Structure 1
């Protein structure tokens, strides 16, 4: 047991102080993110919206994320990741607090759009900050540590959030979300010092001419894959909680425990898994393939039985795919980013999640409304199988273009 513990701690050695501080700030921010996993339930149970209306509100969530991420990428390249991240955290906190006072459909559409615009402007900045503060060769583990902080916060947030909903009400969640975002912004200001990327910090790149990401054909294929991957992934945070409640009759506190499994599993196993895969020198593209494969499998098993325990099995499969796919796809995106354009490339990478929010929640809600949960899960399983095949094709394209662990 002592050896296992020592090996686990060894995965964190060699990371810079700034990466640890950035992870701490990220944890504070994500620990308060209690509204998002329960937003679809809040809109249905408290505000009385139907599934298509919730889908459109979540599309506005995605549109705000899309616009905010684009603006955040431009700001990261122009004023730096530090100021961009600081502003995004603070303004996002204000947005969460104000959101609770909206109770009309169109008001929610506008409010969610503005909130995610401000909050997601910091996404590219986080990735670029991880690259700036990481020591040479530690970028994947640095991203994994930040993801660990995100998931530690996310495992605690929904768990506490579910208990608060069950024993108090939804309103308290908006205050906690807002105040913790503000606290995270103060943490950035007090604990982290601005740093500019040096030319020696740049990682090997695939496109040496410094083309914008929109003209990099390999990156555009990768971008499409990440949209599709994320489009299915976001179902776990909008459609799936409704499925838990309406089909399996779970209460909010039990749903919080189920989401806790995701975050807790990542906290315990992701860093050792990433370190092991790094030692095995797995291709970043093939790691993305395995992430997509396990996510598709998680949807497929939901149709195999009505036993409630299958929800845990599906959650663990999704989590395994998340642990493998997302850290390596982050690292691959940075590796494909040429000097002076990291903000733009990481903005486009982050925008894949924004497009997923824009299309995925609405699409998932309407699929369920028209075809039911069984057919919706079949659709996502088949869809991800096709995307997994496309990822293998990208692997061979990149292998031809340049040798290396891509």
Structure 2
């Protein structure tokens, strides 16, 4: 991908979007602790696999109330203030971990870090939703997604070295990158809460009103009065979207759950090495093709793109049960990664289009929960299926789960097309 194409795809976006991109790269590059938590628990504290699994699951569950609280705070006091508070809490917890990393009390600070980390995610999405015009949302969310993956592609290499040689710096490095991101946001981002619209550069009142009107052309984004349950129930399309998204999540989680199991079944001791190569294929595909998929996404609506991404899930994951040759595993990974990219780019775009401005952070938190529920369902239920029917037969079930999600998304897309046609006729 030529530099000119990259610049053209992401040019003209609000300054806050570029700041979020840089902050995502820094934060995810320094995300040293969580990816190595399993190794830490088993080697540092000699916990059993069952104990380790319970602790890791608990850290995931604690992030859920974190997201809900972070979303509520961000919708009331502002995105920037909330980001600084919760990202600061995460950094401080990691700093304390660095000084207690050889003691079991470190796990308490890990849990606190997970809580704050869960709070930060919906705040970032709310910032992007606030500052991006509808026609720029795919590019803006794509750039944020690219920033996450740039950090993830580089960070684990450094973290692996630190884990083996300078374990103290696993925690200290994670804390330092968190504080760098905080300073960056504090100095360069202005508040974006819609009720007090503050833009990236000084403008006149007329210019401000004009820009606000451009970002509020969808009536679903108008301010709403009431509690979150009442407002959410008034948006059945979003509820159905979250339901079908759980099937997507249950499918995607197999990339880290069932895929290693079948590789061990087919390739025995070479399984972990091959799994690593497939994860590298996934990372490289994301970095190379995200921009191309962003350009492709502009041709269709967000929900139509998400449905198309589901087709890639059905094919990419479904074919795993019938392939035996290594090149086909790479092809499978390439296909489902294309689905991952296009779904990730358009997910926030669709949620924003269905969300009142004054509920954006909270709705983002709830949609993140739907993803988490799907992941838990995909791990627990698929695990039971594997125990009874074996790893080879599970891929038919996975294809079925992704097919349900895909069909549901296509139905939502079709309803959206009919709604637009009805407006045009009027």
**Residue 204 in 1 paired to residue 201 in 2?**
no
Q: How do 1:82-93 and structure 2 match up within 5 A?
A: 82-93=80-91
Deviations 1:227-269 (A, max 9, x none): 2212332343456567667865469888666434323322222
Provide the C-alpha distance between the structure 2 equivalents of 1:124 and 1:233, rounded to a whole number of angstroms: 20
**Residue 33 in 1 paired to residue 31 in 2?**
yes
Provide the C-alpha distance between the structure 1 equivalents of 2:44 and 2:396, rounded to a whole number of angstroms: 30
1:356, distance to aligned residue in structure 2 (A): 3.5
Q: Select which of 214, 226, 232 maps to 2:251.
A: 232
Higher relative contact order (CA 8 A, sep 6+): 1
1:385, distance to aligned residue in structure 2 (A): 1.3
Q: How do 1:5-404 and structure 2 match up within 5 A?
A: 5-40=3-38, 53-96=51-94, 98=97, 101=101, 113-135=111-133, 137-162=135-160, 168=165, 173-197=170-194, 198=197, 199-200=212-213, 201-206=215-220, 210=224, 212-237=231-256, 240=259, 249=269, 258-278=278-298, 280=299, 282-363=300-381, 368=386, 372-403=390-421
Provide the C-alpha distance between the structure 1 equivalents of 2:160 and 2:264, rounded to a whole number of angstroms: 13
Larger radius of gyration: 2
Give the length in aligned residue pairs: 398
Contact 1:84–1:125 (8 Å) recurs in 2 = yes
Deviations 1:164-190 (A, max 9, x none): 55x548765444333322322222223
Q: Give TM-score scaled by structure 1 length.
A: 0.83
1:83, distance to aligned residue in structure 2 (A): 1.6
Contact 1:92–1:115 (8 Å) recurs in 2 = yes
Provide the C-alpha distance between the structure 1 equivalents of 2:240 and 2:348, rounded to a whole number of angstroms: 15
Contact 2:244–2:404 (8 Å) recurs in 1 = no
Q: Give TM-score scaled by structure 2 length.
A: 0.79
Segment drifting more, 299-308 vs 210-219: 299-308
Return closer, same or farther for 1:101/1:54 CA change in 2, 3 Å cut-off. same
For the residue of structure 1 that corresponds to 2:391, the secondary structure is helix
Aligned residue in 1 for 2:202: none
Deviations 1:297-343 (A, max 9, x none): 33233333444444433332222011111211210110111232222
- Ranges in structure 2 where 5+ consecutive residues have no aligned partner: 198-211, 225-229
